[in-house]
Amino acid sequence: MAIDKVPNIQEYISHHLTNLQLDLRTFKLVNPNNIGIYKNFWILNIDSMFFSLILGLLFLMIFYKIANRVTTGVPGRFQSGVELIFVFVDKNIKDIYRSKNSLIGPLSLTIFVWCLLMNLMDLIPTDLFPYISKCTIGLSTIRIVPSTDINITTAMALGVFILIIYYSLRIKGISGFTKELTLFPFKNPIFIPINIILESVSLFAKPISLSLRLFGNMYSGELIFILINGLLPWWIQWMLNVPWAIFHILIIVLQAFIFMVLTVVYLSMASEEH
């Protein structure tokens, strides 16, 4: 059921797809009714930032606690779960990344678990947190799935992109990286302008594909939950919510895995000497 009484499905959908925003120029919350005119650099989606940081801290606390309580005997359930994640991530890194790098392991583990936790927020009932927010701060405009915010997925992809440029310059040098952009795939100097266009498109497509793939899949999943709750009466919603949630678990895990694997692949390509 909707948090507030809304006259039609369009308002219900719009309400649940609106972020809780802060204007950094005035440090005041943006009026949800005027949300359409606040599309600029100085607007911060504080709900996305809040839940991203909370989930990141939760990941660090859990893994730090488990690491300090590791036993050599029969492990507990939490230790077994963490070890399975470690082995899973480590196996994928060894299969893809051929160079030696002390950063790639922690980075891949962080990306996988953090994305997974953010995606899992999509399984929480749609109206639960808006109701809690309305009772506590008087605002029901809140979104709790950070990966459905294009700003969050783009920020993560840009972080990976910066590492791609860094390792490309570090491993290949400025000269090698420049030659890679200008002399590939056609080695004849006549084709340098064409090579630059082709390689630039390929280079910039990496962060764009990373961010849009995660955002698109999670946004569509969230939208389906909202449509089910907005179109059907509360007593029958579970008949569609439960099957979709079970199927959506596969998407949640798969998208976190894909983001991690593509990060490792891109960094492996950047670390290759030519």
Instruction: Supply the residues annotated as catalytic.
Output: 209, 213, 217
Cβ burial, residue 128 (10 Å; 0-12/13-18/19+): exposed
β partners of residue 29: 22
Cβ burial, residue 77 (10 Å; 0-12/13-18/19+): exposed
Question: CB under 8 Å to 165, separation ≥6 — which residues?
Answer: 270
Task: Let me know: does 119 contact 255? Beta carbons within 8 Å.
Answer: yes
DSSP state of 256: H
Instruction: Quote the CA–CA distance of 209 and 263 in Å, as a whole number.
Output: 11
DSSP string, 102-140: TTHHHHHHHHHHHHHHHHHGGGS-TTHHHHHHHHHTS--
Hey, what are 223's tokens?
A: 């939208």
